[in-house]
Structure 1
Amino acid sequence: MNLVSEKLLNILEDEIKKFNKELNKDVKLVDFEHLEADLKSINDEIDKEKVFFSEELSLIDVGMKCIGTLIFWIGEHDHFIAGNWTKEEYERINQTFQGLLTQLTNGLIGISKLIERGLDYQARVLFRNLAEMSWLTLVLIYDEEWLRMYIQGDKYEKYFRPYKIRNKLNEIENATELPQSIKDELNKNRKQIYKFYSEILHNTYPYPILGAMVKRINGEENLALSLFGKITRYSSRTIHEVNTCIYLFILMFYRALGTLHKLKVEGENDEYFASKSIILMNTFIKGYQASLSKSEKAD
């Protein structure tokens, strides 16, 4: 059996001997090697099929790098948030946004890796957390009062329940000059994501059961059990919704940096990170819009 740990291999061999002796069986180590061969076959199939989503996943990769580079940019500014804050509060605010943006960046990496490994259902569970964190981050950068409450740490249950965060974000968007049709679409999109992915996260019947059955990308119409992972056509929806989440987040976040907080490029290091972040942002936006056009033509 292909175990990296010699200690575990020894334990396994001992357990085989005990099992055989107590129940008069004849289980051999080679039986477990057959299981390893089956798993390798599944993984080889996944490696061949995951290229099906390589172009779509590359857009998530650009968005991930955009947000990740943004962290270094705001990290160059001790006072990148407008308002009257103490030195200690500024330090906590900087740590807060770097922490939230880091979790968003790493969450995108995790989602991509899960999809590439044929674990779409698990990617959707992670996406639910990522989407909600992106909404929270936007509320905090737009509203000074909510930011003050958040960094105090002891009022989370009272003020930061998911529905309150969504309602606050609706209020923020309604105060912008965005067309009403876009505002309505944003609100509708958040409600749909929260409802659908919450039911997945909380294992509401029948989502875990249905989520274990997937449509293959090889053209077969019959559903297949996704045991140990399988690349599925369902991932197209997951990837699209993840990219939509990134798109809406970076549009609103960069808008806040420029219009509310007047973040400017100042030093040499600052310019290095800001330039990369802005270029990646524009690349993602155009790539996302191109993907929508491609999708409309396909329909």
Structure 2
Amino acid sequence: MKLINDKTIRETVELFLEEYINKDKVNIDISNSYISEFEELILEGRKDSNEIIKNKLESELSITYLYIIEIAVLSLAFNQDKEGFFSEIWNRINIREPNHTFESIYTNITNHALSVVLLVESGLDTSARSLLRVLIELTWISILTLADKEKLKIYQKTTDKDIEKTAWYNHFKPKKLSDGIMKLEKTLGIDDEEFLKYLDETRSEMYSFLSKYSHSSYTAVSIGAYTTSFSDEERIDSSLLGKESSTSISTITQLNEVLFYLSVMIEAIFTKIHKFSPPTENYLWKLYEGIRKGANSSYFYYLKKQEN
């Protein structure tokens, strides 16, 4: 199997390689010795990493995929009816197409989460961590805009460049998002100050850690050039072109924490702020409720299993 399938491009590159590699009349078969060799390395490496990751992270990835499906169904539930619950209530205060906005947000969350998993399964853990940081910010935005009509109105206005800069600075930069989440937690009934502090510190530590990867810090870049073995803690290999790494346990664990928190907060916002219960006669909302409960139950089972 080839990765460079455009015949003209492949022949052009091979002509240049022929000129530079074989200028001393070595007569090497360029296509087989160079391009094809790297193509094979990429494809075989991806296949091997995929098999090892799925084997080593079977339970973790099962939970991840459950949450991905949950959020995907939620996106579809919003999409099915442009004049549903949120349109009926929120259009009264001049919010345009709230269902479409939330459908879009949850579609992007679903795809970001799926991309993190696919990168991990391909042995590209450092790249997965960079994207996970992007995903965290979007989940915070989704939580705050779902809970606050005025925040949603501001978010929708960010299509204007000048307004976008001001709105982002005042409402959607990381510190503002984190503070907003903590305030919302109190609104939803979490009144234990120690627990609130724990949630805030955990959130900040994860975000700060992943920011090193999205900002390409020296430490992240240096570490990201290598992988650690699942079977031998002392073994370190190059991550060039992708290779499975035991560090992916942490990446998927963090992803599951993010998706669990999102699931719990969406449910709390539905019931405590909007007094909204998914309609039992609607197939997609029923499907969403079933998957949500199953995913959270599975996550609690996994955590208990880890303790023992």
TM-score, normalised relative to structure 2: 0.87
The amino acid across from 1:31 in the alignment is S
> Using the alignment, how far apart are the partners of 1:99 and 1:205 within structure 2?
35
Q: Provide the aligned C-alpha RMSD in A.
A: 2.3
> How many residue pairs align between the two structures?
294
Give the AA of the match of 1:48.
Answer: E
Q: CA deviation at 1:87?
A: 8.7
Query: How many angstroms apart in 2 are the aligned matches of 1:61 and 1:97?
Result: 20
For the pair 1:18 / 2:19, whether they are aligned, the reply is yes
Partner of 2:95: 89
Structure 1 residue aligned with 2:74: 70
Q: Name the structure 2 match of 1:162.
A: 174
Partner in structure 1 of residue 183 of structure 2: 171
Shift of 1:57: 0.8
Gapped regions of structure 1 (runs ≥ 5): none
TM-aligned CA deviation for residue 117 of structure 1 = 0.5
Cα distance in 1 between the residues matched to 2:117 and 2:195: 28
Q: Secondary structure, in 3 states, of the residue corresponding to 2:227?
A: strand
For residues 239 and 98 of structure 1, the distance between their equivalents in structure 2, rounded to whole angstroms, comes to 25
Give the 3-state SS of the residue equivalent to 1:286 in structure 2.
helix
CA distance in 1, matches of 2:90, 2:292: 29
Instruction: Tell me, yes or no, if structure 1 residue 289 matches structure 2 residue 294.
Output: no
Larger RCO of the pair (alpha carbons < 8 Å, separation 6+): 1
Specify the SS of the correspondent of 1:178: coil
Question: What is the aligned partner in structure 1 of residue 65 from structure 2?
Answer: 61
**Distance (whole Å) between structure 2 residues aligned to residue 127 and residue 88 of structure 1:** 33
Q: Which of these residues, 234, 237, 242, is aligned with residue 250 of structure 2?
A: 237
- In the alignment, the residues of structure 2 paired with residue 57 and residue 265 of structure 1 have an alpha-carbon distance, to the nearest angstrom, of 27
Q: Distance in 2 between matches of 1:17 and 1:156?
A: 52
User: Which secondary structure state, in structure 2, belongs to the residue aligned with residue 141 of structure 1?
Assistant: helix
Identify the match of residue 196 of structure 1 among 201, 209, 213: 209
Displacement of 1:243: 0.6
1: distance between equivalents of 2:45 and 2:280? 51
Of 172-181 and 233-242, deviating more is 172-181
Shift of 1:234: 0.8
Contact residue 78 and residue 90 of structure 1 kept, 8 A: no
Does the CA-based 8 Å contact 2:279-2:286 persist in structure 1? no
- Give the drift of 1:264: 3.8
Residue number in structure 1 paired with 2:139:
134
Q: Structure 1 residue 142: deviation in Å?
A: 1.3
Alpha-carbon distance between aligned partners in 2 of 1:120 and 1:218, rounded to the nearest angstrom = 17
For the residues of structure 1 that align with 2:300 and 2:191, how far apart are their CA atoms?
A: 18
2:104 aligns to what?
99
Q: 1:114 to 1:40 in 2, by over 3 A?
A: closer
Amino acid at match of 2:253: H
After TM superposition, the structure 1 = structure 2 runs for residues 222-261 of structure 1, keeping only pairs within 5 Å, are 222-261=235-274
Unaligned runs of 5+ in 2: none
